[in-house]
């Protein structure tokens, strides 16, 4: 039993040690620790090696800032964002460079430092070159897939991407070597070196990063959870953080994907086939062969439709008079009970549903996470396969936002015109891009060239949170709720409606109405639940006092319009429809109107015009709304009256409703499975073929469009060709106060970049 006694003794010693530690822990003081840290850094900052590291970090900081301001366009706004930008290169540079102090021998330590400096420079400069070509940052995927290099021919054009001042990005290397050699930072021998210097520098870096993260969270909450945009990650947390984050994400996603196999797709397709409904024979194919123009209405909610407010003279003004006129038109299928179904991915979730009829994720943006890598069977490719459609998306913001420039390639979008194709200046743009009236106007020179039939989408931005009030663009009566955001919302929505009207007036003059179907949809709520009470005080028939979860659910309705000019003359009755549905249903509805069957695709939506539409809608958070019941978590309400029924229903009724909710939630889980395991790569719909995405480069739209037009030869039909190849740009009339400065900006930009000057062409065409 001797060994037992020994271990017992040891055990008691350990316990005593532990108690001792606890006691000393009691005397712990953050202040003392901080003081000690500061002291230590002050002490070791005198050491030549530490000085060299600070010297290298300062250079990295300087050249990163040069890249931020000169080569990247990060959209930095306001003093606070500039402060974050100035702070973010420090932490990682300091951290990495301090690793060299873990090597005690001076010579080796210096070599490690130089190696790290070269590595940092490669990361920075690689991103600069890539950004000059793609207006985006390098990702693990773009780096390791030889495809993307083929696609760009970048390897061949490296020289063309370099600029005269690029030596600045490398100048620190010889300077650091020189500083180390010349020992002008002091001599090693006169100081005692301690590896702990490295640790305390690294600790300082961690503290700086913590501060950085905190500031970023204040400026842009949920930055990492939602991952809007690569630009955002770099702007707030720096290039190093972004690169590391991206690699970690790619490794994780690859692992999940690698473990999936085709058997996982079978039960999903079984479910889809079992739940499919037959298209409505009365509406199937009524828009066959028409062009499609989708209007992605930023933050437009259904309560705006037919909303009126009194102006100073007591005269009633409609919030969205143009949308109202379509809503009540006999040529329009207008839905009064369609809801948005987005999660945190907001606009990107809306687009994912619109183009694929697949739900987003319960957390984060599916398009940001999987848009670059996954297989999709999306509308642009489906329409190319069925009717030879050319597809284009127009958006007056940077293409990297919500990972659009990558995912659009996967969806088969032929041409994506992002902010690089527009002339933005301080006056004509808001935080999220070009103001709508100018955006529509300046899309015309591209839209008119598109070979017909085309499938196009216009993504508006003016009605975006925080709905800033601008005197010169304000023409709706001032609202007087307690919430300024709510008040601003009515005004920006009114402006957005005016912009739509200007665009339609143009479409009419250009002769596009009769051969086009227009799809309007609100992308998500504009007024969040926390502001709905204030909003309710301005809504007719709303009870602000008793506003609750039920009301928050009901106000998630969005406009969903399928406007097909001329169909009423052909004896087809459109008008307002009361079917309950959501954004997931938009694509099957559209495809059926165009006469394209959807039964072979992995789509979770149903044609809203089908007689057997399930007539219910599941929210991304699991809330179910049917004409009869609204189920929010465990509470059941009467959809018509809002009364809570939970305690009045029998156990059987409740069980039936719960089963219905569980059934309705299955497509949410199936969608997540498809997305995170990339399951569509195992599924081949008959006759479906995706475009070879290596042929798509959205920085090169105009020359690719030229090529397509030449290849079409005599078969080329477009607005332009129908107008004797003279631009119709001049037909667009706008009352935008920023017009003059926009034209000036556009002319200057065309001259500088050697692009066609459409404004001068339009003046000549008159």
- Token pair belonging to 617: 């809608």
CA distance to 247, 267, 378, 690, 719, per residue, from 680 (Å): 24, 13, 11, 12, 36
How far apart CA 283 and CA 580 sit, in angstroms, is: 18
- The nearer residue to Mn ion, 246 or 523, going by C-beta atoms, is 523
Binding characters for Mn ion, 500-539, by CB under 5 A (x = yes): -----------------------x----------------
How far apart CA 607 and CA 285 sit, in angstroms, is: 12
How far apart CA 758 and CA 443 sit, in angstroms, is: 11
- The nearer residue to Mn ion, 374 or 397, going by C-beta atoms, is 397
Can you name the residues that pair with 563 across neighbouring β-strands? 332, 518
Would you tell me how many other CB atoms lie within 10 Å of the CB of residue 22?
9
Using alpha carbons only, what angle is made at residue 335 by residues 475 and 656, rounded to the nearest 5 degrees?
130
Binding characters for Mn ion, 22-61, by CB under 5 A (x = yes): ----------------------------------------
- The nearer residue to Mn ion, 298 or 738, going by C-beta atoms, is 298
Q: What is the DSSP letter of 632?
A: E
- The nearer residue to Mn ion, 280 or 348, going by C-beta atoms, is 348
CA distance to 144, 413, 434, 458, 523, per residue, from 455 (Å): 33, 9, 22, 10, 18
- The nearer residue to Mn ion, 130 or 228, going by C-beta atoms, is 228
- The nearer residue to Mn ion, 491 or 727, going by C-beta atoms, is 491
- The nearer residue to Mn ion, 523 or 607, going by C-beta atoms, is 523
- The nearer residue to Mn ion, 347 or 677, going by C-beta atoms, is 347
3-14 in b/e form (b: 16+ CB < 10 A) is eeeeeeeeeeee
Count of residues of this chain found to bind Mn ion when the rule CB under 5 A is applied: 3
> CB of 342: closest distance to Mn ion in angstroms?
9
| CA dihedral for 385, 272, 653, 617, sign (positive or negative) | negative
- The nearer residue to Mn ion, 489 or 732, going by C-beta atoms, is 489
Ramachandran assignment for 162, one of left (phi > 0), alpha (psi -120 to 50 degrees), beta (any other): beta
Q: What is the DSSP letter of 622?
A: S
How far apart CA 677 and CA 266 sit, in angstroms, is: 13
How far apart CA 271 and CA 679 sit, in angstroms, is: 15
What residues contact residue 6 under an 8 Å CB cut-off, 6+ apart? none
> CB of 435: closest distance to Mn ion in angstroms?
15
Which range binds Mn ion by CB under 5 A, 23-31, 309-317, 345-353, 700-708? 345-353
The answer to whether 229 contacts Mn ion (rule: CB under 5 A) is: no
> CB of 249: closest distance to Mn ion in angstroms?
23
> CB of 296: closest distance to Mn ion in angstroms?
8
CA distance to 357, 415, 590, 709, per residue, from 388 (Å): 21, 15, 16, 14
Which range binds Mn ion by CB under 5 A, 219-227, 281-289, 347-355, 415-423? 347-355
> CB of 366: closest distance to Mn ion in angstroms?
15
28-43 in b/e form (b: 16+ CB < 10 A) is eeeeeeeeeeeebeee
Q: What is the DSSP letter of 345?
A: T
Of all residues in this chain, which one has the CB nearest to Mn ion in the complex?
347
Q: What is the DSSP letter of 644?
A: B
How far apart CA 56 and CA 89 sit, in angstroms, is: 12
> CB of 468: closest distance to Mn ion in angstroms?
15
> CB of 495: closest distance to Mn ion in angstroms?
16
- The nearer residue to Mn ion, 137 or 465, going by C-beta atoms, is 465
> CB of 406: closest distance to Mn ion in angstroms?
18
> CB of 146: closest distance to Mn ion in angstroms?
35
CA distance to 427, 540, 627, per residue, from 637 (Å): 48, 21, 11
- The nearer residue to Mn ion, 365 or 697, going by C-beta atoms, is 365
- Token pair belonging to 208: 């700086």
How far apart CA 411 and CA 419 sit, in angstroms, is: 20
Binding characters for Mn ion, 268-307, by CB under 5 A (x = yes): ------------------------------x---------
- The nearer residue to Mn ion, 169 or 521, going by C-beta atoms, is 521
| CA dihedral for 498, 500, 506, 507, sign (positive or negative) | negative
- The nearer residue to Mn ion, 396 or 477, going by C-beta atoms, is 396
- Could you report how far apart the first and last alpha carbons of the chain are, in Å? 108
- The nearer residue to Mn ion, 298 or 616, going by C-beta atoms, is 298
> CB of 467: closest distance to Mn ion in angstroms?
12
Asked, as a colleague might, if the bond just before 374 is cis with ω within 30 of 0, I would say no
Q: Residue count of the chain, please give it.
A: 766
Can you name the residues that pair with 618 across neighbouring β-strands? 624
> CB of 524: closest distance to Mn ion in angstroms?
6
Q: Are 298 and 460 in contact (CB under 8 A)?
A: yes
> CB of 402: closest distance to Mn ion in angstroms?
9
> CB of 263: closest distance to Mn ion in angstroms?
37
How far apart CA 56 and CA 45 sit, in angstroms, is: 13
- The nearer residue to Mn ion, 323 or 661, going by C-beta atoms, is 323
- Token pair belonging to 120: 């940092």
> CB of 346: closest distance to Mn ion in angstroms?
5
**Within 280-401, where are the H helices?**
321-327, 346-356, 366-370, 379-385
How far apart CA 124 and CA 145 sit, in angstroms, is: 20
The answer to whether 347 contacts Mn ion (rule: CB under 5 A) is: yes
> CB of 380: closest distance to Mn ion in angstroms?
20
> CB of 457: closest distance to Mn ion in angstroms?
13
The CA dihedral of 606, 610, 615, 616, to the nearest 10 degrees, is: 10
- The nearer residue to Mn ion, 124 or 342, going by C-beta atoms, is 342
> Restricting to residues 82-141, which ones interact with Mn ion according to CB under 5 A?
none
- The nearer residue to Mn ion, 510 or 560, going by C-beta atoms, is 560
The answer to whether 341 contacts Mn ion (rule: CB under 5 A) is: no
In the numeric block, the tokens 């602000």 are attached to 544
> CB of 521: closest distance to Mn ion in angstroms?
11
How far apart CA 50 and CA 28 sit, in angstroms, is: 28
Using alpha carbons only, what angle is made at residue 66 by residues 62 and 71, rounded to the nearest 5 degrees?
150
Phi first, then psi, for residue 337 (nearest 5°) are -130, 40
Binding site for Mn ion (CB under 5 A): 298, 347, 523
């Amino acid at each position: 039993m001797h060994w037992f006694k020994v271990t017992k003794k040891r055990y008691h010693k350990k316990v005593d040690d532990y108690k001792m530690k606890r006691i000393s822990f009691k005397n712990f003081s953050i202040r003392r620790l901080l003081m000690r840290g500061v002291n230590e850094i002050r002490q070791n900052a005198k050491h030549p090696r530490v000085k060299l590291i600070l010297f290298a970090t300062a250079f990295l900081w300087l050249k990163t800032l040069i890249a931020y301001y000169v080569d990247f366009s990060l959209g930095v706004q306001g003093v606070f964002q500039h402060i974050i930008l100035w702070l973010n290169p420090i932490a990682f540079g300091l951290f990495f460079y301090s690793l060299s102090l873990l090597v005690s021998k001076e010579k080796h330590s210096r070599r490690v430092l130089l190696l790290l400096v070269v590595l940092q420079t490669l990361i920075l400069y690689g991103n600069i070159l890539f950004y000059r070509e793609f207006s985006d940052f390098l990702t693990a995927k773009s780096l390791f897939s030889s495809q993307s290099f083929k696609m760009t021919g970048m390897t061949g054009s490296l020289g063309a991407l370099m600029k005269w001042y690029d030596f600045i990005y490398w100048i620190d290397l010889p300077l650091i070597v020189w500083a180390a050699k010349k020992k002008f930072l002091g001599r090693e021998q006169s100081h005692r070196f301690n590896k702990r210097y490295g640790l305390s520098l690294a600790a300082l870096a961690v503290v700086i990063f913590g501060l950085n993260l905190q500031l970023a969270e204040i400026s842009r909450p949920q930055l990492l959870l939602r991952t809007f945009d690569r630009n955002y990650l770099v702007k707030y947390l720096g290039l190093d953080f972004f690169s590391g984050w991206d690699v970690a994400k790619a490794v994780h996603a690859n692992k999940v994907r690698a473990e999936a196999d085709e058997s996982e797709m079978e039960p999903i397709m079984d479910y889809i086939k079992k739940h499919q409904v037959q298209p409505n024979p009365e509406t199937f194919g009524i828009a066959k062969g028409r062009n499609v123009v989708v209007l992605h209405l930023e933050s437009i909610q259904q309560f705006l439709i037919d909303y009126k407010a009194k102006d100073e003279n007591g005269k009633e003004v409609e919030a969205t008079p143009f949308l109202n006129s379509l809503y009540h038109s006999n040529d329009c299928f207008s839905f009064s009970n369609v809801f948005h179904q987005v999660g945190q991915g907001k606009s990107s979730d809306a687009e994912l549903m619109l183009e694929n009829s697949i739900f987003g994720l319960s957390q984060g943006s599916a398009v940001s996470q999987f848009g670059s890598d996954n297989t999709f069977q999306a509308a642009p490719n489906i329409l190319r396969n069925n009717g030879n459609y050319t597809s284009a998306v127009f958006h007056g913001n940077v293409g990297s936002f919500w990972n659009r420039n990558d995912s659009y390639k996967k969806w088969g979008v032929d041409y994506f015109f992002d902010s690089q194709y527009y002339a933005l200046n301080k006056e004509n743009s808001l935080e999220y891009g070009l103001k709508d009236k100018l955006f529509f106007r300046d899309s015309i020179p591209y839209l008119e060239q598109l070979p017909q039939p085309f499938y196009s989408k216009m993504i508006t931005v003016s009605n975006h949170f925080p709905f800033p009030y601008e005197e010169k663009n304000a023409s709706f009566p001032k609202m007087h709720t307690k919430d300024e955001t709510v008040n601003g919302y009515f005004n920006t929505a009114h402006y957005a409606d005016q912009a739509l009207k200007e665009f339609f007036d143009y479409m009419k003059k250009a002769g596009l109405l009769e051969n086009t179907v227009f799809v309007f949809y609100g992308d998500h709520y504009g007024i969040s639940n926390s502001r709905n009470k204030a909003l309710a005080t301005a809504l007719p028939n709303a009870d602000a006092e008793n506003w609750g979860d039920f009301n928050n659910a009901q106000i998630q309705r969005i406009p969903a319009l399928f406007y097909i000019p001329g169909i009423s003359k052909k004896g087809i009755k459109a008008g307002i429809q009361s079917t309950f549905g959501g954004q997931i249903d938009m694509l099957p509805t559209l495809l059926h109107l165009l006469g394209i069957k959807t039964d072979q695709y992995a789509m979770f939506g149903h044609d809203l015009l089908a007689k057997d539409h399930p007539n219910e809608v599941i929210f991304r958070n699991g809330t179910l709304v049917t004409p009869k019941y609204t189920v929010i978590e465990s509470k059941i309400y009467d959809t018509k009256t809002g009364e809570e029924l939970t305690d009045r229903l029998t156990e059987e009724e409740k069980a039936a409703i719960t089963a219905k909710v569980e059934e309705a939630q299955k497509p949410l889980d199936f969608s997540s499975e498809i997305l995170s395991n990339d399951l569509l790569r195992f599924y081949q719909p008959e006759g479906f073929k995706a475009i070879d995405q290596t042929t798509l480069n959205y920085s090169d739209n105009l020359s690719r469009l030229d090529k397509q037009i030449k290849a079409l030869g005599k078969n080329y039909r477009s607005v332009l060709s129908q107008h004797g190849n003279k631009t119709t740009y001049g037909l667009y009339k706008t009352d935008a106060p920023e017009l003059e400065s926009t034209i000036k900006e556009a002319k200057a930009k065309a001259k500088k970049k050697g692009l066609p000057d459409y404004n001068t062409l339009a003046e000549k065409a008159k």
